[in-house]
Every structure is written in C-alpha cells, then in structure tokens.
Amino acid sequence: MTADLWSAPLADAPITGVVVVPGSKSATNRALVLSALADGPSRIRRPLHARDTQLMANALRALGAHIDEIETAAGIDWAVTPGELRGPATIDCGLAGTVMRFVPAVAALARGDVSFDGDERARVRPMRATIDALRSLGVDVDDNGAGALPFTVHGSGAVAVEHVVVDASASSQFVSALLLVAAQFENGCIIEHRGPAIPSMPHLAMSVHMLRERGVQVDVDVEDPSNARWTVHAGAIHGLDAVIEPDLSNAAPFMAAAMVTRGRVTIPDWPRTTTQPGDRLRGLFTAMGGSVELSSVGCTVTGPSELRGIDVDLRDEGELTPVVAAVCALASTPSRIRGIAHLRGHETDRLAALATEINRIGGRATETDDGLVIEPSHELHGAVMQTYDDHRMATAAAVLGLRIPGVEVVDIATTAKTLPDFDHMWRTLVAGRA
C-alpha cells in the first residue's frame, strides 16, 4: 500500500449515528460574492471552510474585499467588508467551478487586469460560455482563443451593456455568475438562456433567493428551461447577517451509509424549506426502499431490508449522482440515472469515471447518452478505486467500501474540496461513535 491509498472501512453491523454536516458550499460562495459587492459589511455565520470556499475568499481578497475570520462557539464566521475592486490580481481557481465562473464576472467590475488559472483538470472544464458572455457585455477577455483557463479579464470598472444571451446547457453556473453581479451594472441586465435545458435549476433558484434577501429586484421567467430569462434591476446589494444551511449534498454519503447497511443516520438542522438540490435525497432514498423522517431533530434515514434500484432523472441534482450510483450498484434491482450528460464537464467526466470504477469492483454499469444504467451484480470484489481528483468520486467509493471488503481509495484527501474532515467523520460513523 502506498501513502495515497485509503482503506475504506467495512461495516460489520448496521451503521447508526448523528452526523453534523458543515455549511453549504454553494451558499457560502454565493454569500461571499454578494458580500464583497454589498453596500456595507456582512457577517457569514457557519460557512463551509474547505478548499473551494477558501479559494473564493482568497480570490475576493485579491480583488479588494476585506474578509476576516471571527471565532465563535459554533465555529469560525467570516466578516466581509467590501473594498474597491481593482487589479492587477492573479486568481487561483483550483478546481472550483464557482470560482472560475463567478469571479470573472466580478472582475468585469474591477479596474485593471485580473488573471485566472487553476489545477490541471480545471483547464479542460467548460468556460467558453462565461468568456463569450463577458465579451458580449463589452468586457475585454484574453484567452488566446481557447475558451478555457488560463485567461485574463481586463476590467474597466463598469459594465454598461444591459442584455446578454448565454447557452448555459453545460452548467447553471454560467447564469448564476451573471445574476450575482448584474445589479452592479450601470443599468442592470437582462440575462437570457438559449439552448438545451439548463441543468441544476435549483442552484439558480438559490442565486435568485439570496439576491432578493439582499434587496435586489429580480424578475424570473423559467417556464421554458430552454428559453429562460432573468431581469436583474440595477441597485444596491445590501450587507447581511446570514446563516449558512448545512450542505445537503455533502450529507449524501452519510445517509447512504444507513441505506446500504440497514442502519439509521440523522443529519441535524435539515431545513424545512430550501433551494438546495440535496433536499431531493429524501425522495430518492425513500424510492429505493428506505424510510426518511424530517423532524425537529433533523433528517433521519433508516435503511431498508431490501435495497431497490431506481429510475430517475437527476438533471437538476446531478451532484448527487456519484453517491446515488454507488447505492444503485449495491441494489437488488436495476437502476437508470438520466438527464446527466452535463456531468461529463465536471471535475472529471463523471459518467465515464463512475462506469469505470463500478465495473472495476465487479459491478455492471453502462454509460448511455445522458446517464448510466446499473445492473445488480453478485461478483463485487475489492480493488483500488481511482477518484480523478473528484471529491464526489471519493465519497462514492467510501460508500461502496462499507459493503465490499478490500476497497482502497486513491487520494481520499480530495474530499477537502468541500468536506475537509471527511476521513475522520466517516471512520467515526462506521465505528459507531457518531
């Protein structure tokens, strides 16, 4: 065994416990951007502290925002004081889609040159829609024609164009990036999507909700997801004292642990209403035979005596796919996951990666045009599972390791992207101490 291999703990009994999940990455990074553009100070309580959010905080600091850490009994809050946006600055995007898509739009409002680059895999993630949208808004972007990282935004300090058309069929982040900054354009902006249906629509609802919380007027017409429109009116983005919800997508592997071991796991502080796509886990795991209860204590999942497969469209909740696919690989009936072709452009080609890794351990997974078909297998066995620098591939492998002896995971540390303490949290839960 080499240093970068992690032996996935095997569950020899039903897993039970309570797992406190840190704050939402999506909400934390949106709150950071809005706070950096606000008309006064903001406080972000219970944010996620992980690689993606640290990259966002560092990017906004580089552009002039002041972001300070405040220790509290519940953890470390962020106090954000807006500053004059300016270059020159160099932004490390890592592998964070929110940083590489949201911050260039912020840089359009800065004075000076802002250069962007990231991890090696980040250079193959789709960026042309962001670059083209900025250019149509009159922003000078130098990408050497690549439509990808690295590139430089030559900010002039203002955006006067008030209408932009973007094809966001590869990622809803292309629209969210513009939504978050458009109130600061001279005349606001009408943002139109033209193309195949946008995936991950709940993330757009999250962006709109967080804008409205800060006093921004946003008109939404998304009845036709292939021809949608958002009108963001010019005006102040108010400072806000905001509490970040737990990251429901990061709850997926812990809930899955109950599902695949006939156990019982509770996630405290699960919101009654939310725009997070992870909330759909409740329905998904119920459909697969589990029992899911939402109470004042939190969300409690009890695993079934027979784990059933599922036929489901996850276009709006694609980030749940790796863990859901892992559960499907352990089910007694076939599964089909549809609507997720866009996952080929995530941290890795998640469809190819999932099919490869499930088959590596003796599973039966096949790629389709827009998803996966997973058949039951009685030949599952241990193996070294690759993670492709993808945090969700790592957590999916951990779920499989609960039932399959001898699963070893390459680079479990990649989970630090959104869940820095995953290894300890996982071992604590499996050992029955959570």
Q: Which residues are catalytic?
A: 319
Q: Which of 261, 311, 270 is nearest to 290 (CA)?
A: 261
Distance from the Cα of residue 422 to its chain's centroid: 16
Cα–Cα distance measured from residue 271 to residue 316, given in angstroms and rounded to the nearest whole number: 19
Cα–Cα distance measured from residue 414 to residue 423, given in angstroms and rounded to the nearest whole number: 11
For 73-144, strand residue ranges (E) read 75-81, 89-92, 111-117, 140-142
Helix (H, G, I), strand (E, B) or coil at 13: coil
Name the token pair of 121: 């895999």
Cα–Cα distance measured from residue 266 to residue 17, given in angstroms and rounded to the nearest whole number: 6
Single-letter amino acid, residue 406: G
Q: What per-residue string of b and e applies to 335-356 under the rule 16 or more CB within 10 Å gives b?
A: bbbbbbbbbbbbbbbbbebbbe
